Amino acid sequence: MAPRDAEICIASVLSPLHGDELVKDIVDIVISASRKFPYRYLGVYKEPEPLRDAVAGCDVVVLIVGSGGTERIIYDAFDGYDGGLMLVSYNGYNSLAAAIEVAPALRTLGVKVSLYHHRLGYGRKRLDDYIRVAYAIAKFRSSRIGLFGAPAPWLVYSSMPASESVRYGPEVVKIPLRKLYTYFMNVDEGEALDLTRMYRSRTSSRISDEALLNVMKLHLAIRKIVEEEGLDGFTIDCFEVIRVLGVTPCFTVGYHNSIGIVAGCEGDLPSLLTMMIASYISGNSSFMGNLSDIEQETIVLSHCTAPLNMGSYFLTTHYETGRPVGVSVTPPKGRVVTIMKLDHKNDKFIVARGTIVASSPRPNLCRTQMVIRVPFDPQILLDESHGNHYTVVLGDHAWKAIIAGRLLGLDIVDFTGGMSPLS
């Protein structure tokens, strides 16, 4: 089964006092910025009922506030709307005044709102980025993800039932591990052997050919299920797989992340959702790590897998079990990164930025390690803990993450140092 096609719905709203031609310029600009993504223009609306009907089923609506006097139309049309709403105002006809009046009123209804103000005649770089975020959230909300097994038993705070993910949009497909084991037993060994030879030079001599072959058989089994189920991402109860098969899914998790199928560990659905948001808004692969250490200005995140395209990598043993394989990626020193975390129990979205300052392997931590300098006292992550597992993506996408969080109706916990999306 394939996931739903994602698209941006675009509409305009005008006071009945004005003709449709009033919004032609701003509509043309917004549509031009949207052309690189699937979109649907719904038209101009001056009454709430037709607008409500038009946006029904849209995952994200980009609503151009054409003039003042539209507040009640917008309020009535979006009462009960469950998707993300991006209000676009511009520098004319009291558009901005209407947008900032109706936005807080919509929030009291539980509508997920973000605002963007466009200045006609001043270019559209920021608009392009806002539209990218709008499409990223439409893609996120329409995605289909797999849960192999169950959340790990130690996720006493971060565990989330599959049914709960519906409120964020994605559909969760439960995949029993016994199905995975059956696929593992029926993998084409010739294909697995070819992969074993391909990755042998990147693998520690401590890993036998037979063990690496089983790692590749597990990879092919998961890949086949992902393709058959039409999954955009998955998370897996990795330690149960290790217990039964004797090998880890760390390689296939890193591999899938590097090709755009977002993959997480330990059956941690909130972390998988965070990784998907991070990947979709940035266009980059994302890394999920344990918070393993803090110092005065740095944090250490580590895990036994990471995207294979995030840096040079080597396949070695898994840290906790010594089993094959763990993925040791050396991330690029000096790169700015964005750090995110979804706290689903409180509907909070943590956003921070930092810089990778080192990747010096410690023998007592998971194989991929990032030492990140941050512009805040890391002690706050302990004092106001939101659970383990943080997501990292290369590049400064902090303000995009903030906008994405708002389109999902989340309260933003901002550790970015106060930079506004307007800067």
Asked, for residue 1, whether it belongs to a domain, the answer is: no
Co-location of 86 and 159 in the same domain = no
Co-location of 121 and 258 in the same domain = no
* Domain final residue, candidates 107, 126, 141: 141
Co-location of 120 and 159 in the same domain = no
Asked, for residue 3, whether it belongs to a domain, the answer is: no
Co-location of 221 and 367 in the same domain = yes
Indicate the pLDDT class of residue 32, thresholds 50, 70 and 90. very high
Q: Is it the case that residue 423 has pLDDT exceeding 70?
A: no
Give the model's pLDDT for residue 124. Answer: 81
Give the model's pLDDT for residue 64. Answer: 98
pLDDT digits (tens, 9 = 90+) for 251-278: 999 999 999 999 999 999 999 999 999 9
Q: Give the mean pLDDT of the chain.
A: 95
Q: What is the CATH number of the domain that holds 294?
A: 3.40.275.10
Judge contact between 146 and 234, C-beta under 8 A: yes
Domain that holds residue 133: 8-141
Co-location of 150 and 64 in the same domain = no
Indicate the pLDDT class of residue 91, thresholds 50, 70 and 90. very high
pLDDT digits (tens, 9 = 90+) for 229-243: 999 999 999 999 999
Asked, for residue 423, whether it belongs to a domain, the answer is: no
* Domain final residue, candidates 107, 141, 175: 141
Judge contact between 84 and 59, C-beta under 8 A: yes
Co-location of 319 and 261 in the same domain = yes
Give the model's pLDDT for residue 2. Answer: 55
Co-location of 111 and 153 in the same domain = no
Asked, for residue 421, whether it belongs to a domain, the answer is: no
Mean pLDDT, to the nearest integer, of 25-53? 97
3-state secondary structure of 30: helix
Indicate the pLDDT class of residue 418, thresholds 50, 70 and 90. low
Co-location of 118 and 153 in the same domain = no
Co-location of 243 and 301 in the same domain = yes
Mean pLDDT, to the nearest integer, of 167-183? 96
Question: In the chain, how many domains are there?
Answer: 2
pLDDT digits (tens, 9 = 90+) for 181-214: 999 999 999 999 999 999 999 999 999 999 999 9
Co-location of 50 and 160 in the same domain = no
Q: Is 276 exposed, middle or buried (0-12, 13-18, 19+ CB in 10 A)?
A: buried
Indicate the pLDDT class of residue 359, thresholds 50, 70 and 90. confident
Asked, for residue 221, whether it belongs to a domain, the answer is: yes
Mean pLDDT, to the nearest integer, of 128-156? 97
Give the model's pLDDT for residue 352. Answer: 97
Give the model's pLDDT for residue 1. Answer: 58
Asked, for residue 117, whether it belongs to a domain, the answer is: yes
Asked, for residue 51, whether it belongs to a domain, the answer is: yes
Give the model's pLDDT for residue 270. Answer: 97
Give the model's pLDDT for residue 421. Answer: 45
Co-location of 42 and 189 in the same domain = no
Judge contact between 394 and 310, C-beta under 8 A: yes
* Domain final residue, candidates 90, 112, 141: 141
Q: What is the CATH number of the domain that holds 32?
A: 3.40.50.10940
Co-location of 135 and 269 in the same domain = no
Q: Is it the case that residue 3 has pLDDT exceeding 90?
A: no
Residues 6+ apart with CB under 8 A from 364: none
Strands 336-343 and 262-265, sheet pairing: unpaired
Task: Round to whole Å and give the CA distance between 257 and 166.
Answer: 23
Closest of 63, 85, 174 to residue 138, by C-alpha: 85
Q: Is it the case that residue 381 has pLDDT exceeding 80?
A: yes
